[in-house]
Structure 1
Amino acid sequence: MATRRIISQEKSILEKDERTDFSPAAGEKSDIAPAVPMGVIVKLLVFTFAMIVVPIGSYFLTVDNLFKGNSTFAGALAAIMANVVLVAYIVAAMREDQSEQLAEQAKEAKKSR
């Protein structure tokens, strides 16, 4: 037994949306700025890489050389190094935020003159 398909005469959601203001008009330049500056992305990638490499590297470099096979001390050092990388990231982020605030204050001071 076959069923009949009822075809609606209504427009679909895509057909109802007749706006054409998505693209810039002829002669206008598009103002599409990245959501996150490239420097922030690079900084995040560098600290992500450091968060992986520094603790693991410090563990394997010290487990035999410095601690003579004692993996407990080497693991503790790796945990400390992970925290050092984390604190360094927080400090770098805070400095970046302060530099942006100082730049905004300098612009406001120039405008008031």
Structure 2
Amino acid sequence: MSSFPVTSRQGSEVIEGVKTDFHISNYSDRTLVVVTQTGKPGTFIHVQRDSSSGRNGLSINVLVGKRDDVTMVYARQIAEVMHKRSQKPVLIALCVLNDSPVVFKKVLQNLETLSA
């Protein structure tokens, strides 16, 4: 049985001139992470630990939206940040307009701060 209220944290920062909103909700069975620069959810990605065959990697599935290398890198790194606190699966809603390294670094820094 899940306990409510769900714990949530949110914040925003202007990154490279674009307001970027962050939201993390911790449910009993997974963590929801929203990163958006448009106010829309964008691509939905599900990430969980894959312990099959003795591996300790990540299973990353794009549920809806863009399926490209940048999305996969974001998903992997966001999940790693979240897995520092909990091994629960992570559902990510990602919508960034600029995939520069500066934006990527700032997104991860903001999520580190929010998840602490």
Question: Shorter chain as normaliser: what TM range?
Answer: under 0.3
Query: Which one has a bigger Cα radius of gyration?
Result: 1
Structure richer in strand, relative to its length: 2
Structure richer in helix, relative to its length: 1
| TM-score normalized with structure 1 length | 0.26
| TM-score normalized with structure 2 length | 0.26
